[in-house]
Structure 1
């Protein structure tokens, strides 16, 4: 009663909020808390999670308050990111059997990428959709690597003698791990002489002297137990040793020549590594202060450098010495490397070279051919041929180089390969081109040599379809333009005594014909129990298939009578290919098929108009209350009060819908009524914007906040004649809702 008196003195919105909060009481989800792991005999909740492959099981306790959630509800435990952000939460556990249990534990495991100190938990319910508060922040790490780390310069794996690296000329030195798999998955703690540094990746670039080591940062609770502390590398300031290399002779080499590259300092305690064009050509070797470049080695040309390393010495790389090839001339073959010789046929081989004052000698099967010293060679016998080129001028007179080999074979037979040379899809393409794509010469041992380029113009050709010669088709291609030419094609050839045949290719072109089906009706309803589907061609002598939803229903009915709904199609076989018809959809007609975007009672302001539209039917007719048709489209514009009729049809099936149009009431919601039975202002009458609407709910509360009316589709009929009023003047509170949204609210004073 005290609340009611207070309500009378407060603003209306405050009052309504007070009564709403009194009435609407829902479930309360509490923030989740860590729970002991009874499976390992723990009695205290965990405070930080240090998971690994050996142990990864944790529990969170969750409590909530009634009323009960829905029977289909699920409770879901979610985890934030490492900074406590829930923009993309990770689901850890989901339960559906705890909807009557107000205190239970979730179980979960850490994913291998969990690394951080700010993770939080929350619990979400699905029905109703509620969210608990977030938990406290926790340190949680998956310890994926728990062995001592090894570090080295640039992560090369080469730990210097004594663990000391000389830093020459105050340069930068990079230290990195080299034995941690997937190092990018972790954060790291780097130390210099025991002082923690800011770097967090698996590598660090340093310039200061000191003792450097690293460990994986598994947070304040997990790092020590992981035992990942690395070896120590000491960086010392050093000075350049002045290492350099020199060549013992000229650096431009002819065939068979060598040159020694020698370091100016030979120290047996240093490690020497020789490089060519930046790639190591020797392994790091103690005292290896010289290197011999031999022109007989392929690709010996390049820039050579030397790198030194050692205890108390700076790691240095020398200047580069360029070694070049004085006799670097080219030899080019002017013909194919594989040649087919027919009986009595000759072929010409040729060679060219950039050598100075070049001379030539041809070889067959490894032996020189007497007198064959020109740049060309006529051959008529099978064998392996090449030319040896000698340079007779320049700095390296006498250098020789051989051309590539040319293999000449006498075929035992030839074989053709044919294929479609244009885009072709069986039973879809309406034209195609078949062509000879390859000619192989087949040796007696079965070796095949592609001779298409050499011999395709020398053969004569004849196409065959289904084993029968195709008149006039004597080139190595054939064009097919209609389904009448469908069949199995082969190609015959002729050259001297050879008559090769090709493989077989089947051409199946689409006929390009169409088949159209129609139906006596498109819907089944009262009075129409079956429909008949027909084709626009005579099916008497055709092979055909009727399908419904892709499944065969008949292969014999020229017209198909059916009483089942579905998508129907006809497939007719023509020239070996299916010709598919259009699709006809037969539906079961009922009122739910047709929808209208307006209620049955339509209210708008006088002087205006409203357009309403229907969908789901094939045809529409709109009539006014004088039975005059006012539209035959799917929509109509209404501007007058009255009753209107819609007749919607699918095929021969029809439904009707009636709509009442009235102008919007202009009076306000009354806040006083006189329930004295005199027939005047006895009832609380709402404007038609709010009354007699199924989607609008009216709720009335008495002075004590008790709900006395909760009515969708309010009929302007409160209070009932049986309603008793205990006082002369009584105040009631109302809310008008649509889909949970408040449209209006206020008070009603009843004067008796």
Structure 2
């Protein structure tokens, strides 16, 4: 028998039909809690790994879901495209709570960053985290200002500009090589008071107008770092300032090991000079010196000036020889020479008339002939360098005063070195041939004339007012044959 269903039950079933699907949908909806994180991030090249924790409704996660860690801009805004720090593998994170590790970009720098977590299936974005400071310390080592010169002077009423060195000396890792960095300048108030922060700036310089001790740090906000400079003591002067020069490799220095950096007292302008005068273009606080010598610098402090100089010496070793500068031996005799030196691992090379003597490599040598000698001593360890000891050996008499030469020489060098000391003529013109020898100065004066030439001109008759005086000769033989020419005399 058919019964009608009461109206109440019809309405109840209709309610269940509508409510149950809605309840299931609400139960399966994805939700992500507010991410939690440490209070700050201080990353560098040696450490850049951090973790964020969050909870989520695991029932709403599909097998293809990915969680994405996003970073705001430095003031906490996500309005622009956020920075993706990490994206999980699809389906890899399925249980709550979860922890994800990430690294920050090298451009990270600010005090107000925030994080959020985003899921892809179902799509949902978490509330943002609390704000935090975050910095990637791209430069995290000490650096220099004023090339490590610890003192600077300016004139009263003026100022002095402190500058970060770029690149600076040695292995200095200048922060100016990283354009994204900014800096905090400080005045040091001593050990009992905290330093005074003077300015924050993107430029690597700061103008000082009061005396004090100053330094600069790379601006990494809340993070501490090793990116800080040396301290410079700045003074004011009412008269001319005081300037000094410091050699980076000391004085004396080893030229064989490269240049030494000469650093002047810090000022506003500089002009370097050496023994030859002002050096064009040498207008920096430092000068790279490759050779020994006298150097000077004029430092302008902005209204007052100071001069400084240094006699830069090369590292030397001591050497001596047991003979005089000029020595005389008889034909057939020998001169025993001995070199004494404190050079490290020395080598020796002996020369006669600027030609190396084969096999002469010890610190002793037996001289048996006249000539111009020298021994070159080389230090082969430590600062590699050389020095030479010259000496001259003459014969008490020349057993062959009339050697058989082929041509009339046009050069004479009367310096007692045993080579071309006198004007030596072919045998057909010398003593016993009755040949007239006449030497005439450039002014037309006869300075030498003989019919019995002994190969002895100029015999100290030359006046070296000119560096290389020139003379003219006329040779007339017994049978009236004439030879003419010029003679250049070198001292």
With normalisation by structure 2, the TM-score equals 0.42
Higher RCO (C-alpha 8 Å, min separation 6)? 2
Give the strand-richer structure, 1 or 2: 1
